[in-house]
Amino acid sequence: MSRFMSSNYAGLVPYVPGEQPRDLTDRVKLNTNENPFPPSEKAKRYAAKAAENLQLYSDTECTLLRAKIAELYAIDPDEIMCTNGSDEALDLCFLAFCDEQHPAIFPDITYGFYKVFAEVDRVPYQEIPLKADMTVDLNDYLSAPGKTVFIANPNAPTGIALPKADIIRLLESDPDRIVVVDEAYVDFGGESCVDLIHTYDNLVVTQTCSKSRSLAGARLGFAFASRPLIRDLNTLRNSRNPYNVNTMTMMAGLGAFEDEEYTRDNCRQIRDTRAYLTAALRGMGFTVLDSSANFVFAASDRISGKDLYLQLKARNIFIRHFDTPRLAPYNRITVGTVEQVDRLLCAINQILEATK
Ligand SMILES: *Cc1c(COP(=O)(O)O)cnc(C)c1O
């Protein structure tokens, strides 16, 4: 920290993204939950076409894209806000809906960015331990009225989904507090709560094009909520960066949502490969949590999480390791193509054989 940095940020620990090797020749990258399939042809075509008009500012309202999503989700465009990745939508939720009277609460094991947002946005927060089986204990949240809940559903890095009925209980437990449901992985097997925004004016749902729609590099996310909440979020967005979604990204998103069959098809393949990967790992003695996402969380008592991670990395296979006490035995493995998963399984098999 230089002597010029604001003391407000002394000790701020930024989010640490997974490694992004640029050269993927002969590398298997299963560490950041990207989609193994390319973006839809339509998304690529629309983005290239949009590049021709980049002398103009982007549409701060993302009018075309919101209209398309509103039609698909049977909601109103005024119930949607588009953001630079769903990370931005989540950040705006911390800013808009948390303060001394409404501290943020979220699980101790969840998306690492929640804690970083709470810190950088200088809002009070509390981390609530998951149960021993890595599931959320709903009672911890039901008995914390007034606190703004952030819940990833399915959760990361566990992949475990909460039933929609549990979210409804949470929403009804205190109509005067906000519940933010982060649905980054919902298309891989979770139950979406977007349709509940008409019933519950204290609900915000965030989604992203980064995972199921193969647009991680484009940076496109959304918040869905009742009109008053979207207005609040837009007040903040327009006070910070009204041109948050660039024209190429908005058009790539439009192309992706006009090609829903492609998304559904890719998600189906990923779910099938997830079942295959889960069964194969369990067959090798791994504990694998039941995932509803595009990754699995797995531990073996024959090798530490870190050792497996390092040995796979030495073989050009990247998975994600988290070096905290409860997570250290595990690794988070993105579900790639069948070919990538086969290469991974083959390498794990060799590594385990060598450690006998
Ligand atoms: C990937 C991810 C996000 C957001 O990613 P963006 O690329 O910013 O849309 C949000 N929440 C969770 C749990 C994620 O894993």
Secondary structure letter of residue 53 according to DSSP = G
Q: What is the pLDDT of residues 10-37, one digit of tens each?
A: 999 999 888 888 888 889 999 999 999 9
Q: Which of 19-23, 37-41, 273-277 has the lowest mean pLDDT?
A: 19-23
Residues with CB under 6 A from ligand 1: 33, 85-87, 111, 152, 156, 182, 184, 208, 210, 216, 221
Distance 87 CA to ligand 1 centre (A): 6
What the block records as the tokens of 304 is 């530490």
Nearest residue (CA) to ligand 1, atom 6:
85
Secondary structure letter of residue 244 according to DSSP = -
Residue 214's region, left for phi above 0, alpha for psi from -120 to 50, else beta, is left
Q: What is the pLDDT of residues 244-256, one digit of tens each?
A: 999 999 999 999 9
Tell me what pLDDT residue 355 has.
87
The Cα–Cα gap between 152 and 139 comes to 17
Segment (H or E) for 342:
helix 338-354
Q: Do residues 251 and 259 lie in contact, with contact meaning Cβ atoms separated by under 8 Å?
A: no
Q: Half-sphere exposure (CA, 13 Å, Cβ side) for 139?
A: 1
- Measured N-to-C along each axis, helices 41-50 and 247-257 cross at an angle, to the nearest 10 degrees, of 150
Indicate whether 165 pLDDT > 80.
yes
CA end-to-end distance (rounded Å), the chain: 46
* 87, 93, 110, 115, best to mutate for ligand 1 pocket (most atoms within 8 Å of CB): 87
Distance 5 CA to ligand 1 centre (A): 28
Which residue bears the tokens 């973006």?
A: 39
Nearest residue (CA) to ligand 1, atom 11:
184
Q: Do residues 75 and 68 lie in contact, with contact meaning Cβ atoms separated by under 8 Å?
A: no
Distance 325 CA to ligand 1 centre (A): 23
* 33, 90, 111, 153, best to mutate for ligand 1 pocket (most atoms within 8 Å of CB): 111
Whether the full predicted model's pTM is greater than 0.85, yes or no, is: yes
List C-alpha distances in Å: 204 to 12, 80, 90, 103, 308: 27, 10, 10, 16, 38
Tell me what pLDDT residue 19 has.
85
What the block records as the tokens of 215 is 């647009």
Distance 209 CA to ligand 1 centre (A): 9
Distance 208 CA to ligand 1 centre (A): 7
Q: Are strands 317-318 and 295-299 parallel, antiparallel or unpaired?
A: unpaired
Over residues 174-196, the mean pLDDT reads 97
Question: Nearest 5°: CA angle at 74, between 70 and 76?
Answer: 50
Tell me what pLDDT residue 16 has.
86
Tell me what pLDDT residue 24 has.
85
Close Cβ partners of 269 (under 8 Å, ≥ 6 residues apart): 37
Distance 222 CA to ligand 1 centre (A): 11
Q: Do residues 11 and 213 lie in contact, with contact meaning Cβ atoms separated by under 8 Å?
A: no
Report residue 182's pLDDT band, with 50, 70 and 90 as the boundaries. very high
Which residue bears the tokens 């992004």?
A: 20
What the block records as the tokens of 141 is 């949240």
Q: What is the pLDDT of residues 227-237, one digit of tens each?
A: 999 999 999 99
Q: What three-state secondary structure class fits 328?
A: coil
Nearest residue (CA) to ligand 1, atom 1:
184
Q: Which amino acid is at 250?
A: M
Other Cβ atoms within 10 Å of 45 Cβ, number: 14
Q: Do residues 217 and 173 lie in contact, with contact meaning Cβ atoms separated by under 8 Å?
A: no
Which residue bears the tokens 């993302």?
A: 62
Q: Which of 4-18, 98-112, 113-127 has the lowest mean pLDDT?
A: 4-18
